[in-house]
Each structure stands twice: as C-alpha cells, then as structure tokens.
C-alpha cells in the first residue's frame, strides 16, 4: 500500500480521481493497446532474488541495445484479467496460476522469477493504481500484462546479468474482430509453432513473432486465425496462434494433450474443470486433423480470447462447418466461466481474487 500511496502522491490532483472512470468509450473496446496511468517494476541480478518493486507512471523504459531480451529473446510474458463486479469489487482470475507459469518459463530460459506472492502483489497494485481503467461491469476487463525480461547487457550468448519484471495494463473488450461471433480458422500446412524439446509449452515472447507470417497470410484470405499442427507428423492439432483448441464429438470433449509444445492455458485448465463438473467427459489426448474435421463443435480458449466458438476450419482447401449458437456447449462453457470471472455467481472453486 505504501508504494501505491507514493505513486499517487507523485500524480497530479486531476490524475488522482480514484472513483471516476477514465475517458474511454467503453462500448468500443477491442483488444488494442491503450496507455493507462501506472506500471509496476522490480529488478533483480542473476543469482539474486527480486525485491522492492514499485509503481511508476506508465511510460517508456530504458534498455541497453545489448540487453539480453533484445539480442537473444530472453523474455516471458503473461496475461490475466481484472473484472469489475456489479458491486464494484475488482476481481482477478487465478493470478497465482500465471505466477507459477512464469516461474516454469523462467526456469526454462535461465532467468530468476518473482515469487508467487510478489507476482500477485504486483498485479494487484497495478490494477488498483489503474482502477479508473477497469471497464464498467459487462463492458470488458482490464488486461494485465506482466513481463519478465533479461535487461542486463550481453554480447556472447549467455543469461543476462540483470532482469526486470514489469506489469502494465490496458482495458480490453473482445479479442477477435468478430466479437463474440464464431471464427473461421485455416489449418497451417507449412510452418509450425513449436517443436519437441523447444519452448512451445512456456510463454516466451519468442513463440509469438514466428506465427505472424502464417496469420497475416490467412487474414488476407479472410480467415480469423491459423491452427497449427504438430511438427513431427503434421497431423495432430497443437494450438491457434493465441489460444488453445477444443472439440466436441458425440457429447465428449477433447483437447490436445500438452506435452511441451502446447501452452498450458489457464483458461484451458479451467474449462476442462468446468466441463467435467457439468458432467462432460473431457479427454486430453492426441487430436488429429481428421478428428477435428469430424467434430460437432470446435472452440478456442485463452485469457484474451475467453471461449471463442469456431464456425469453420479449412484444411487442404476444404471448409468444414460446426455447430454454434445459443444451444452450443461452447456457449454454456463461456457463460459458466465468465459468470465466475465477473462475480455473477458464487465462486465455489476459489478461483477469483478480490482486490
């Protein structure tokens, strides 16, 4: 609270209008960056532990051109959302899971990472300091983006000697331009997102730029996004650029088994649990492209994406369509998940963290 207090004191009176909303057209939020008031930062030397983070005004950061993250991609990110409930509480969804995932990624990339408590504290502080940017109930959420970067200088390939943990936030609405309407995916047949033994299973920044080429080409052809297949057999589903994938066939839900090449989505894990609680059989297994062609329903899950119904998947020039709409299982799963996230129902799972 003291760091928050000093950051508030550093702000001018007009910035400090805690109870009011920022000047945003809440009905037109998409998933676009918008600068907010504060960001959190904390530093650490290699071999040391993070300590003494603080809030600063949102702004550019200074990095040496030879920072490890800029030269060798030593960086991780996370994404989580804060919702404003009807009672105007601020709710985070499973932030400890993001903290743990960052720790696993940091171990993979030889970086020190914040403790779970430090991570969650930083996220809470960032949300509180940017409270006026949390959309009104039902209009969207404040997307929180923690970053862990090798900020120290390197020339030869080695772990950076210094690290920075940053948290910033921006108000968001729906991820896809389709809004909540069903999306159209193209199976990517040439490039792959991840390889066995690589880093596909952790949230390294380096997993995302390699996706852009296929994504841009697919968008030019009118598709929403691309679906990647495994790099060994070019046959088993992995994930979409920014989300995990599920299918439903004869009442059974399946999703690709995460075995190092697929991101361990927190929304993915939550949907598996919610579906099982609702009585569905959920299988984590190898899911082939033939399985998806034959499915009754397909949907994507992710923090940014939430639960996105898939209207069609195109593979080798053939388009396959799926059930969507109010009666779809994905609609029910979307409603169950978002009611917990928005505080509309009792959270029996203990997933939400009130700030």
Residues with active-site annotation: 203
CB of 19 to ligand COI, least distance (A): 28
Nearer to ligand COI, 182 or 265 (CB): 265
Q: What are 73's two structure tokens?
A: 């991609």
- Nearest alpha-carbon partner for 43 in 130, 157, 149: 149
The answer to whether 105 and 204 are in contact (CB under 8 A) is yes
- Nearest alpha-carbon partner for 242 in 290, 288, 193: 193
Residues with Cβ < 8 Å from 101, sequence gap 6 or more? 78, 202, 203, 264, 266
Site string for ligand COI, 58-97 (x = CB under 6 A): ---------------------x------------------
Nearer to ligand COI, 125 or 242 (CB): 242
- Nearest alpha-carbon partner for 284 in 257, 263, 266: 257
Query: Site for ligand COI (CB under 6 A): how many residues?
Result: 6
CB of 304 to ligand COI, least distance (A): 3
Could you say whether residue 105 binds ligand COI (CB under 6 A)? no
Nearer to ligand COI, 143 or 152 (CB): 143
Nearer to ligand COI, 262 or 304 (CB): 304
Nearer to ligand COI, 73 or 159 (CB): 73
Distance (Å, whole) CA 256 – CA 344: 30
Nearer to ligand COI, 304 or 307 (CB): 304
CB of 242 to ligand COI, least distance (A): 4
Q: Are strands 38-45 and 162-172 parallel, antiparallel or unpaired?
A: antiparallel
CB of 101 to ligand COI, least distance (A): 10
Residues 223-242 that bind ligand COI (CB under 6 A): 242
CB of 31 to ligand COI, least distance (A): 7
- Using Cβ positions, the residue closest to ligand COI within the complex turns out to be 79
CB of 33 to ligand COI, least distance (A): 11
Three-class SS string for 113-155?
CCCHHHHHHHHHHHHHHCHHHCCCCCCCEEEEEEEEEECCECC
**Cβ-based burial of 52 (10 A; exposed 0-12, middle 13-18, buried ≥19):** exposed
Nearer to ligand COI, 91 or 154 (CB): 91
Residues 245-304 that bind ligand COI (CB under 6 A): 302-304
The values of phi and psi at residue 303, to 5°, are: -65, -50
Site string for ligand COI, 294-313 (x = CB under 6 A): --------xxxx--------
Distance (Å, whole) CA 353 – CA 340: 11
Distance (Å, whole) CA 168 – CA 174: 19
Q: How far apart are the first and last CA of the chain?
A: 12
The answer to whether 95 and 103 are in contact (CB under 8 A) is no
Cα angle value 44/50/55 (rounded, 5°)? 95
Within a 10 A sphere around the Cβ of 352, how many other Cβ atoms? 18
CB of 91 to ligand COI, least distance (A): 16
Residues that bind ligand COI (CB under 6 A): 79, 242, 302-305
């Amino acid at each position: 609270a003291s760091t928050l207090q000093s950051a508030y004191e550093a702000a001018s009176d007009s910035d400090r209008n805690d109870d009011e909303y920022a000047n945003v057209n809440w009905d037109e939020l998409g998933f676009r960056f918008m600068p907010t008031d504060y960001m959190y930062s904390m530093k650490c030397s290699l071999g040391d532990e993070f300590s003494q983070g603080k809030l600063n005004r949102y702004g550019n950061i200074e990095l040496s051109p030879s920072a490890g993250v800029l030269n060798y991609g030593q960086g991780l990110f996370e994404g989580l959302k804060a919702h404003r409930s009807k009672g105007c509480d601020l709710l985070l969804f499973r932030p400890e899971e993001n903290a743990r995932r960052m720790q696993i990624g940091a171990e993979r990339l030889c970086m020190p990472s914040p403790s779970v408590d430090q991570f969650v504290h930083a996220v809470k502080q960032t949300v509180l300091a940017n409270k006026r940017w949390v959309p009104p109930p039902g209009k969207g959420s404040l997307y929180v983006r923690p970053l862990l970067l090798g900020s120290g200088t390197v020339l030869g390939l080695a772990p950076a000697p210094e690290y920075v943990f940053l948290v910033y936030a921006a108000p968001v609405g729906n991820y896809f331009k389709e809004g909540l309407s069903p999306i159209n995916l193209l199976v990517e047949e040439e490039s792959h997102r991840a390889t066995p033994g690589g880093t596909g299973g952790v949230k390294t920044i380096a997993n995302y730029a390699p996706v852009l080429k296929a994504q841009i080409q697919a968008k030019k052809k009118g598709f929403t996004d691309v679906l990647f297949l495994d790099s060994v057999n070019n046959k088993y589903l992995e994930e979409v650029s920014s989300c995990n994938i599920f299918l439903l066939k004869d009442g059974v839900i399946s999703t690709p088994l995460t075995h190092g090449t697929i991101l361990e989505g927190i929304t993915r894990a939550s949907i598996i649990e919610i579906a099982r609680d609702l009585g569905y059989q959920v299988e984590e297994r190898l899911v082939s492209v033939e399985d998806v062609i034959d499915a009754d329903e397909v949907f994507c899950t992710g923090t940014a994406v939430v639960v996105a119904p898939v209207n069609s998947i195109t593979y080798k020039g053939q388009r396959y369509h799926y059930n969507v709409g109010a009666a779809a299982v994905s609609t029910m799963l979307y409603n169950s998940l978002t009611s917990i996230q928005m505080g509309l129902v009792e959270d029996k799972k203990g997933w939400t963290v009130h700030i």
